[in-house]
Amino acid sequence: MKTLLQFSFKRRFLNKMTLFLQIIFILVISIMFYFDKISELLNLEFNRPIPIYIEPNLRKLIVNEAEWKNKGFEFTTNKESITISYSKDVYTITLVDDLMTQSKIYDLLLDNHQKRKESSSNSSVYRWLEDYRSIDVDFLEYKYEDNQFKHQIIILFLTSIYFMLLNFIAVNSNEIIMEKTSHMIPIILTHVKIKTHFISKLIIGFASVLFQIISSIGIVGLIGYSRYQLDKGEGLIRLLVKFLPFKLDSFNLDDILKLLDLSMNDLVQVSIGLVFILIGIFIIQILILILSSKVKTMEEAASIQGPFYLVLLIIYYLALSLNTTQSLSSNLGLTLSYIPIFSMLIMPMRLLTQHVMPIEIMISILFSFALISLIFIIMYPIYCEGLREEG
Amino acid sequence: MLEIQNISKNYGKKKALQSCHLIANKHDIIGILGQNGCGKSTLFKSVMGLIEVDSGTILYNHKQCDFNQRKKFGYMPEQRSLFLDLTLYDQLKFLAQLKGILDDRFDRLVDLYIERFDLKDKKYTVLNKLSKGQQQKVQLIASLIHNPDVLILDEPLNGLDFYSVQLVMNELRIQASLGKIILISSHQMDFMDELCTHLLVLDNGHTIKNGKLSGLYQEYGVCVSVNADSLWHNISKLHKNILEKGSMIEFHYANLLEAKKALGNFCKEPTITTLKLHNVSIGDMLKEGE
């Protein structure tokens, strides 16, 4: 029993891949706990206050300015930033494009309102209490309401593709592991050069990703069309509106398409976004393929994909947390949109929320290709060695 | 001609091969022998380019052996190397296609070999449904299917029954007669005796014997074997080199002349019913080497 336990423990936990996973985990957790320090060190301006314009009549009424600062806002005179106006006991807020900021502003306005109420006297306690409890805030006047919906739909589309493709990053790795465990590698390497083997794996990996995208879009299109023919998807849209964070007044696919109002520019942006996702997936495929060549046991094979899924999940959450015009314009957002792998989601989001110069797109793609070249130069010998070890 | 010139390979501190030298010509069947871990597989992998040697060169037809040259080599590794979820036909087809063999030619070749190896009814059987010996034969066919000029076979007789061993040996003799060079390792010495024309014996990476089997036979003398239940003691009181081998007793002589003299005496003993003049077996050569 003891021997069995020791044997299993050693094989499961003292293998290179599990150690690699642990290193990645330690790294990620360390970054999380020291993010403020790292952000300061790298001058990422992640903590840069969000500029907010408060109209003079309301500005006079703000008594909790310190609270606003603590929550990351900075009062400005620039009307292009978030603006809050106040008229007839209704606060109107424009240019807030994420729910979290909306919620923070609401809380701060309510806090301000309550502080003011606390210092004022009122004849009717009942009326005072009623006033005290709530405020009227109007978030409906988005300057870019239509864009917001379009933006959300495109982000939904891109992130769906991102997750769909995550399944495929492991295909190559599984194939290599299968070839290694069946001892076919020596036989195959007497038939083809290692470089041919490597490139064919990359091609087939990338081709399966493309096939998956095309077939999925085809299937979605076909089934969507059949539903459109049936009743223009009316019942479905009504159901979806209940669960999805969209505000819609129309409930059939015709109206949705009109609302989306997809232009050629939107399609170009989505296509560029897809290119970034594909490049990111390609880089991850190369890395996972090379690491798979070093796998020697089934236990190692089981842990090889872990670090990649962890990193990809972090990229996803990072992209979601940065999915506001302000965050994406911060140094962190800008920097990550150039860093390969991170750029696979951050750059598409930047493309959708702000004007990105073509040169920025080119530079970001160039960085990714530079990383691919670097991986080829530095890590290809590791692949050769990994396969030859089996040979 | 395949020339292995003083190749050496170390795995860390372990010296797997030390200055190994071998020349193999057409029609040669070279037995690579030695204990487990003596460097046989390392030698094969070096020839196949699966590992890089630390020093020395491998030439084929007087040219440095590269990937294109090795396309003419067929390799069968010691381990079971098959996609066990494929059928026999699909597995062979995959490897044949990698070698660029066209479908028509492949179909003809596969039919020929599965018939020779008694696997005709298994053509479309999934490999994991085959016995270990049958899988071994499939691997051998895989190494032959592209009609290689050089065959590198690491323990091809493992797991084969006597009948299958005979099939394999016959095939290898046919291949050698066609001008192929065959390098084969095996621990089944009796079969190596019957099959090989040359021998390379390794010990901890060092070459301890290398040459034509006929030359080695001369070096090790000649044997006469008689049935053990005979009154052979009366005749061979003076013999020192006597080996008991089951139902036979084997007498070793330095040369053929001595053996012939002894043979005359053995012929006179009426209790001797079985009498055989033969070379020293490879197994005994190795024992003497120790």
Cβ contact, residue pair A391, B45, below 8 Å: yes
> Nearest C-alpha of chain A: how many angstroms from B79?
7
Residues of A in contact with B77 (CB under 8 A): 183, 186-187
Of the CATH numbers 3.40.140.10, 3.40.50.300, 2.160.10.10, 3.40.50.1000, which one belongs to the domain with range B2-212? 3.40.50.300
Weakest-pLDDT range from A54-68, A95-109, A138-152: A138-152
Average pLDDT score over residue span A89-96: 74
Q: Is the pLDDT of residue A374 over 60?
A: yes
> Nearest C-alpha of chain A: how many angstroms from B48?
7
pLDDT confidence tier of residue A144, bands split at 50, 70 and 90: very low
Cβ contact, residue pair B50, A187, below 8 Å: no
Q: Is B159 exposed, middle or buried (0-12, 13-18, 19+ CB in 10 A)?
A: middle
Specify which of A88-97, A112-121, A351-360 reaches the highest per-range mean pLDDT.
A351-360
Q: What is the pLDDT of residues A163-205, one digit of tens each?
A: 877 767 777 778 888 888 888 888 888 888 888 888 888 888 8
Tell me if B34 sits within 8 A of B40, measured CB to CB.
yes
CA angle at residue B23 from B21 to B26, to 5 degrees? 160
Which residue matches tokens 């087939």? A204
Cβ contact, residue pair A190, B81, below 8 Å: no
Between CA B141 and CA B125 the distance in angstroms is 15
In A76-144, alpha helices (H) = 99-119, 125-133
Q: What is the pLDDT of residues A260-318, one digit of tens each?
A: 777 788 888 888 988 998 899 889 888 888 888 888 777 777 777 777 777 888 888 88
Q: Domain segments of chain B: what residues?
A: 2-212, 221-289
CATH level 3 topology of B221-289: Alpha-Beta Plaits (3.30.70)
- Three-state DSSP at B196 gives coil
pLDDT at res. B208 = 85
Tell me if B8 sits within 8 A of B56, measured CB to CB.
yes
> Nearest C-alpha of chain B: how many angstroms from A184?
5
pLDDT at res. A225 = 87
Q: What is the pLDDT of residues A255-267, one digit of tens each?
A: 777 777 777 888 8
| Ranges of residues in chain B whose predicted pLDDT is under 70 | 236-240, 288-290
Q: Which residues contact A179 (CB under 8 A, 6 or more apart)?
A: A185, A188
pLDDT at res. A143 = 47
Q: What is the pLDDT of residues B107-123, one digit of tens each?
A: 999 999 999 999 989 99
Q: Domain segments of chain A: what residues?
A: 50-138, 145-390
- Closest partner residue to A187 among B45, B70, B77, by Cβ? B77
Of all residues in chain A, the percent with pLDDT exceeding 70 is 82
Q: Is the pLDDT of residue A141 over 60?
A: no
Tell me the C-alpha to C-alpha distance, in Å, between residue B255 and each of A388, B211, B241, B242. 47, 19, 13, 15
pLDDT at res. A33 = 79
- Closest partner residue to A190 among B48, B83, B84, by Cβ? B48
DSSP label at residue B87: B
Sign of CA dihedral A113, A116, A119, A120: negative
